[in-house]
Amino acid sequence: GNSVTQMEGPVTLSEEAFLTINCTYTATGYPSLFWYVQYPGEGLQLLLKATKADDKGSNKGFEATYRKETTSFHLEKGSVQVSDSAVYFCALNRYSSASKIIFGSGTRLSIRP
């Protein structure tokens, strides 16, 4: 079946550190891939997405590249800020009878000043 696996947290980094959160997926066909972010006390917000192989999604300094050969969509940021502290969810959308998003388990990121 379709699934998403992401690195377990929590991840704690110092401000200005480089961030990578690994995500791999299993899906038949051609899913779209997403990163959603959940800030403390808030709902899910789309961070970025990529809809076909080799696409790069980017937003707010975050990037992720859709790698079909390795079935991966790792999230990266060159220099994190305290305000990036949140839970990050990797997800895919694979049409079956209707569109539905399948989420990974989430990675909690904490940034120290």
Q: Give 64's DSSP letter.
A: E
Give residues 71-110 in contact with other proteins (rule: CB under 8 A).
89, 93-106
d(CA 89, CA 87): 7
**Cβ proximity to other proteins, 86 vs 106, nearer residue:** 106
Block residue for tokens 């980017």: 58
Sheet holding 75-77, edge to edge: 19-21, 75-77, 62-65, 56-59
**Cβ proximity to other proteins, 66 vs 111, nearer residue:** 66
The one among 43, 69, 70, 113 contacting other proteins by CB under 8 A: 43
Would you tell me which residues interact with other proteins (CB under 8 A)? 30-32, 34, 36, 42-46, 49, 51, 89, 93-106
